[in-house]
Each structure stands twice: as C-alpha cells, then as structure tokens.
C-alpha cells in the first residue's frame, strides 16, 4: 500500500476547486495556497486553504504542512521571489527555468519549434507603433495580436483580426510596453493536444478543443479563458497532433529536463497544422476533466516525484468530456460590472451527472446552502462526460439547466463546430 500523496495547489477559482476535488477523490491529501484575492469560495468548500494572511509565502506553508508535489494553476508562480526555493523544497508538476519559456515567450517557442521543423504562422514582434506599421506595410495580411510574454497581467490580451483593416484599426489602441506579438491569422480550424513529458519521454493524454470567443457562432471578443470546450481521451494520438507538433521538440525537452504537462494548440489550413501556442499546464478547462477521466491520475504525479514510468489508464465510461462556463454580468468586458446576484446550485456539486466548479462566487444566505451570490464575471464551470461527444455535451447542458442565475449567460453551441480536429 502506498502512503497517500500530499498535494499543494497554487491557484484560485473553479480550476483549483475542480483539481482539488478530483485529486481528493483519487485518494490524495490536498491543500491550497490562494494566489489571488478572488475566487476563494470554491476551493474553500473542498479542503484547507491558506493565503498570504496565514503564511507569508508557500515556503512558510510547507514548513507546517509538508507536501510531496506542487501543482500551479498559472505560470505567474515562476516570477515570484519564492519560486526558486519552492522548487528546491517540493517536486513541481510544471517545468521551470528555461523549460518554461516555451509558454512564457512566444517568439522563443516559435524559434525552437521552427528549428525542429514544426510549422508556425508568420509572426513579428513590434516594439512600437511605427515598428508595427512597417511590418504591416511589408506583409499586408490579417494578424492575431497577442502579448509577447505570456502572463495573466500582460497589457494585451488576444485580439483576433480577420482582415487587414481589422489589424490596422488596432495599431493606435494597443499597449506596446512589453512589445506586441503579431501572428498571421490562420482561420477557425483549431484543436489541441495535451501530453505528459518526463525523462525525455512524451506520453499522450487527450485531444481537445476550446471555445474561446464570448458568444455563440464564435462571435465577439476572445475571452480571458474559454467559455467551454471538448476533451477526448487520446493516448494513441489518433489525430497525429503530438507526432507532428510535439515529438520534434523531444531533443530540446530532454535538454532542459522538461517535466510536467505540455499542451499544443494549432490551426489547420491548407491541410497543414500550424502551431499557434504551447502551454505548460494541463489546460485551463481540461485539468479537472483529465483527472476525472483517468483511473490513475496520482500515478502521473508520482512519476514526477520518483521518475517512474507512467501509462495513462482511462475510464472506459468517460472517453469524452464537455465543459461549459456560466458567465456573469458584463463578461468578457471586465470594465462592465453589476451587483452580486443570487445563484442557485444543485444539491450536490459532484454527482453522476457531472461536476460543478465555482469561480467568482461568495457565500449567500446562511440557511440556504444551495444558494450563493454571483460576485464576478466568470461564475462557474460545469463538466460532464459520455461515451461520445453528443452524450457528453447533452449531459453538460442538462447540468447547466439545474442552475439558476439572472444576468448570466453561457454559450449554447459547444460541440456544434470543428470536431473532430480538422473538421469543417
């Protein structure tokens, strides 16, 4: 019998609550370091949580609550003054140092990818307005405008421009403080794949698709996090996304001792997959679902600690998953805010129907545990599973129907487009 795995999660909100619950259900002991000043309610319903008012840093927390492994929900942990010491104190389910640059620095990721023969869209880093205009004059095409350095606090969040005129219109409105990454617009056929990397070995986990725009029909602005998504157990990499877009990086991954998850997101154009970004995490909407779909999620975490081999064992009843986000008043236009609205929850947040993970909510009436207050822009996520896409999607929407909140909305077209990867 193995002793229970002790896990420290650094994060807030629905993704932290979901991961904490699924790991506890798998037999782990979990505590949470709340890294921001919102999204505390959900994790607090699951396990012991702490913040800077309890301990000055996670280092001090580990002094009284020893853990085997730490899982960060965002890459901004690596810029904290305590990051280096934390890595020396506990195993981390995330790359660090140069390995983290594959997500942190878009231009760096493209350079090492192209050196390995991977296809990327044309890109350019503009340092100022004149720099950007000169590039557009030379290469007059539509571009996706992104931050150069990936961070939750970056001055630019992704702006998709589908025409040259769209791109031109933004040049006077964007913040060039950290440079601006212009990436050629490639269309809508987007998909992703997530693997686990360890000792130079690449283990495929899932293929996925994220619905990043705010409204039905893939309309509106790109939201800060997806409004929903699909996930499919794919240990055999049946769409060849890992083979084409991750495997060529294997020498570099081994060189930097990359250990942890790696997600690639790509777009299919002219029957060629072009990488638009890499992420060093399980995926914003995918993490809790992956842990639910695996029969042996703790084995993957133990492999980080002891270097053992890992083979994913997926639950045959859950080959497909669907995630839907309930968004609050004004989202994704964060400057538009409203009061806290009552939000009625199902009796059990986790059941045979699926899971409900809470994000920006707070406690409601003391005598009404099924009601909380919607107190932000991203309220919660629902996750459901099935033997196929249609079943998983139908179950997710049925679970959403059990919720009640005025002045909120969710996309009703998750699963209607672009699946499987490469489809019209």
Domain that holds residue 264: 191-299
* Residue that terminates a domain, selected from 299, 319, 337: 299
196, 238: one domain? yes
199, 269: one domain? yes
In the predicted structure, residue 369 carries a pLDDT above the cut 60: no
Residue 345 lies inside a defined structural domain of this protein: no
Per the CB < 8 A criterion, the answer to whether 167 and 143 are in contact is yes
In the predicted structure, residue 333 carries a pLDDT above the cut 80: yes
Task: Name the helix (H) or strand (E) containing 251.
Answer: helix 250-255
pLDDT given for residue 1 in this prediction:
57
Least confident of 58-67, 174-183, 345-354: 345-354
pLDDT tier, 233 (very low <50, low <70, confident <90, very high otherwise): very high
Calculate what percentage of the chain has a pLDDT beyond 90.
85
Nearest to 117 by CA among 243, 306, 248: 248
Average pLDDT, the chain: 94
In the predicted structure, residue 66 carries a pLDDT above the cut 60: yes
Residues in the chain: 424
Q: What is the tens place of the pLDDT at every residue in 12-37?
A: 999 999 999 999 999 999 999 999 99
Per the CB < 8 A criterion, the answer to whether 142 and 122 are in contact is no
139, 217: one domain? no
Q: What is the tens place of the pLDDT at every residue in 96-110?
A: 999 999 999 999 999
> The CATH number of the domain where 46 resides is what?
3.40.50.20
Token pair, residue 98, equals 């140069």
pLDDT given for residue 28 in this prediction:
97
Residue 383 lies inside a defined structural domain of this protein: no
Q: What is the tens place of the pLDDT at every residue in 116-143?
A: 999 999 999 999 999 999 999 999 999 9
82, 171: one domain? no
Q: Which residues contact 337 (CB under 8 A, 6 or more apart)?
A: 329, 330, 377
264, 224: one domain? yes
Question: What's the mean pLDDT in 158-164?
Answer: 95
pLDDT given for residue 367 in this prediction:
52
Q: What is the tens place of the pLDDT at every residue in 200-221?
A: 899 999 999 999 999 999 999 9
> The CATH number of the domain where 245 resides is what?
3.30.470.20
Token pair, residue 168, equals 């031109």
Residue 237 lies inside a defined structural domain of this protein: yes
d(CA 336, CA 359): 18
196, 292: one domain? yes
Residue 335 lies inside a defined structural domain of this protein: no
In the predicted structure, residue 261 carries a pLDDT above the cut 80: yes
Q: Provide the b/e sequence for 232-262 (b: ≥16 CB within 10 Å).
A: bbbeebebebbebbbbebeebbeebebbbbb
Quickly tell me which residue has 């459901």 as its tokens. Answer: 384
Question: What's the mean pLDDT in 408-416?
Answer: 95
27, 85: one domain? yes
pLDDT tier, 366 (very low <50, low <70, confident <90, very high otherwise): low
* Residue that terminates a domain, selected from 266, 299, 332: 299
In the predicted structure, residue 348 carries a pLDDT above the cut 90: no
249, 216: one domain? yes
Q: Is the dihedral of CA 195, 285, 192, 83 positive or negative?
A: negative
Backbone angles phi, psi at 272, to 5 degrees: -125, 130
Token pair, residue 67, equals 């853990």
Specify whether the backbone of 252 is left (phi greater than 0), alpha (psi in -120 to 50) or beta: alpha
Residue 165 lies inside a defined structural domain of this protein: yes
131, 221: one domain? no
Query: Strands 378-386 and 354-358: what pairing?
Result: antiparallel
281, 210: one domain? yes
Give me the DSSP letters along 205-221. Answer: EEEEEE--EEETTTEEE
Count Cβ atoms within 10 A of the Cβ of residue 92 and give its class: 0-12 exposed, 13-18 middle, 19 or more buried. Answer: buried
Residue 346 lies inside a defined structural domain of this protein: no
> The CATH number of the domain where 133 resides is what?
3.30.1490
In the predicted structure, residue 407 carries a pLDDT above the cut 70: yes
User: Residue 139: CA atoms inside 13 Å, Cβ hemisphere, count?
Assistant: 13
248, 285: one domain? yes
168, 204: one domain? no
How many domains are there within the chain? 3
pLDDT given for residue 283 in this prediction:
74
In the predicted structure, residue 299 carries a pLDDT above the cut 80: yes
Q: What is the tens place of the pLDDT at every residue in 378-391?
A: 999 999 999 999 99
pLDDT given for residue 203 in this prediction:
98
């Amino acid at each position: 019998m193995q002793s229970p795995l002790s896990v420290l999660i650094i994060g807030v909100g629905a993704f932290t609550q979901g991961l904490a619950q699924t790991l506890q259900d798998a037999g782990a002991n979990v505590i949470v370091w709340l890294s921001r000043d919102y999204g505390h309610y959900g994790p607090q319903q699951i396990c012991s949580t702490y913040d800077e008012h309890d301990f000055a840093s996670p280092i001090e927390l580990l002094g009284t609550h020893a853990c085997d492994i730490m899982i960060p929900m965002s890459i901004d942990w690596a810029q904290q003054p305590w990051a280096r010491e934390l890595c020396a104190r506990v195993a981390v389910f995330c790359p660090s140092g140069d390995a983290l640059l594959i997500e942190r620095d878009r231009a760096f990721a493209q350079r090492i990818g192209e050196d390995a023969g991977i296809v990327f869209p044309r890109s350019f880093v503009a340092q100022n307005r004149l720099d950007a205009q000169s590039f557009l004059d030379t290469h007059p095409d539509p571009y996706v405008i992104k931050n150069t350095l990936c961070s939750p606090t970056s001055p630019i969040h992704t702006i998709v421009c589908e025409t040259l005129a769209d791109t031109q219109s933004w040049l006077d409105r964007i913040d060039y403080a950290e440079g601006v990454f212009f990436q050629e617009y490639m269309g809508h056929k987007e998909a992703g794949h997530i693997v686990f990397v360890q000792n130079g070995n690449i283990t495929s986990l899932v293929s996925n698709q994220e619905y990043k725009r705010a409204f039905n029909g893939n309309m509106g602005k790109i939201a800060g996090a997806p409004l929903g998504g699909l996930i499919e157990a794919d240990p055999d990499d049946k769409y060849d996304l890992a083979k084409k877009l991750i495997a060529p990086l294997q020498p570099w991954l081994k060189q930097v001792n990359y250990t942890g998850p790696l997600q690639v997101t790509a777009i299919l154009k002219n029957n060629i997959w072009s990488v638009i970004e890499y992420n060093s995490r399980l995926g914003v909407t995918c993490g809790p679902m992956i842990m639910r779909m695996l029969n042996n999620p703790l084995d993957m975490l133990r492999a980080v600690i002891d270097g053992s081999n890992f083979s994913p064992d997926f639950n045959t009843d859950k080959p497909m998953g669907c995630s839907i986000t309930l968004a609050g008043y004004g989202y994704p236009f964060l400057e538009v805010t409203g009061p806290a609205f009552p939000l009625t929850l199902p009796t059990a947040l986790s059941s045979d129907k699926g899971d409900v993970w809470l994000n920006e909510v707070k406690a409601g009436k003391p005598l009404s545990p099924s009601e909380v207050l919607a107190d932000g822009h991203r309220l919660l996520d629902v996750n459901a599973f099935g033997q196929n896409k249609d079943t998983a999607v139908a179950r997710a929407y049925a679970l959403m129907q059990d919720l009640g909140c005025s002045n909120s909305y969710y996309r009703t077209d998750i699963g209607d487009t672009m699946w499987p990867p490469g489809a019209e």
